[in-house]
Amino acid sequence: GNSVTQMEGPVTLSEEAFLTINCTYTATGYPSLFWYVQYPGEGLQLLLKATKADDKGSNKGFEATYRKETTSFHLEKGSVQVSDSAVYFCALSDSNAGKSTFGDGTTLTVKP
Amino acid sequence: GAGVSQSPSNKVTEKGKDVELRCDPISGHTALYWYRQSLGQGLEFLIYFQGNSAPDKSGLPSDRFSAERTGGSVSTLTIQRTQQEDSAVYLCASSLASESYNEQFFGPGTRLTVL
């Protein structure tokens, strides 16, 4: 079956530090890949997505590239802000099934 | 426009009682999903509806859990004879269709506490 493994947290960084949250996946088909974010007290929302190999998703300074050869979709940001403190979830959606598979989430805390 | 709404936002119940959780998806979204998020855990898929097709119930943890979707819109997740391990945040999401590239829009969740 499909699975998503993402970097365990929590992750604590200082403002303006570089962020990487690793995500690898296992899927039988050709999935679409997503990063969702859950800010404190809010619901999950889409951060970025990529639907085919070598696509790069980007939003709010975050980027992730769909790497089929390494089955990875690592999230990166060059300079984090305190407002980026949240829980980040990597997810995949398989074209052969409607449901998505989510990772366990990584809690990011950015300190001023 | 209106997003996905869920009610109640919080539910405290006694072990053994039945509970119903409601989800109102975004108008026009044909796909609807239920997930469970336990403390410190990721999202656990429960069930998904797509249009008039038979729902995918493969994630329901036991026969105490059931869900229905009336008229292709509102959905209700029912948990019978609740147990303490059912305590979690129950999330509903909807999307335009079930194609893999469609993002899911999540509701705020219902926090269920079983005493």
Indicate the residue of A49, A89, A95 with minimum beta-carbon distance to B103. A49
pLDDT mean across residues, chain B: 91
CB B27 within 8 A of CB B87: no
Alpha carbons A9 and A90: distance in angstroms, whole number: 13
Inter-chain touch B91–A42, beta carbons under 8 Å = no
A-B CB pairs within 8 A amount to 60
The pair of three-digit structure tokens given for residue B92, joined into one six-digit string: 């509903």
Q: Considering only CA atoms, which of B53, B3, B42 is closest in space to residue A98? A: B53
Compare all CA atoms of chain A with the CA of B104 and give the residue at the minimum distance.
Answer: A46
Residue-level pLDDT at A108: 97
Q: What is the DSSP string of chain B?
A: ----EEE-SEEEE-TT--EEEEEEPPTT--EEEEEEE-TT--EEEEEEEETTSPPB-TT--STTEEEEESTTS-EEEEE-S--GGG-EEEEEEEESSS-TTPPPEE---EEEEE-
Inter-chain touch B42–A100, beta carbons under 8 Å = no
Alpha carbons B36 and A66: distance in angstroms, whole number: 27
Considering chain A, what percentage of its residues have pLDDT values greater than 90? Answer: 79
B100: which chain A residues are within 8 Å (Cβ-Cβ)? Answer: 31-32, 51, 93-95
Closest approach of chain B CAs to the CA of A13, in angstroms?
Answer: 20
> Who's near A101: CB < 8 A, 6+ residues apart?
A2, A3, A4, A25, A27, A91, A92, A93, A94, B45
Residue B1 has pLDDT above 70, yes or no: no
Q: Work out the average pLDDT over B57-83.
A: 94
Residue-level pLDDT at A95: 65
pLDDT in tens, A10-65: 999 999 999 999 999 999 878 999 999 999 888 899 999 999 999 999 999 999 99
Residue-level pLDDT at A94: 79
When pLDDT is cut at 50, 70 and 90, the band that residue B102 belongs to is confident
pLDDT in tens, B26-65: 998 989 999 999 876 778 999 999 888 889 898 999 999 9
**A60: three-class secondary structure by DSSP:** coil
Residue A99 has pLDDT above 80, yes or no: no
**Exposed / middle / buried, residue B27 (Cβ in 10 Å: 0-12, 13-18, 19+):** exposed
Residue-level pLDDT at B7: 96
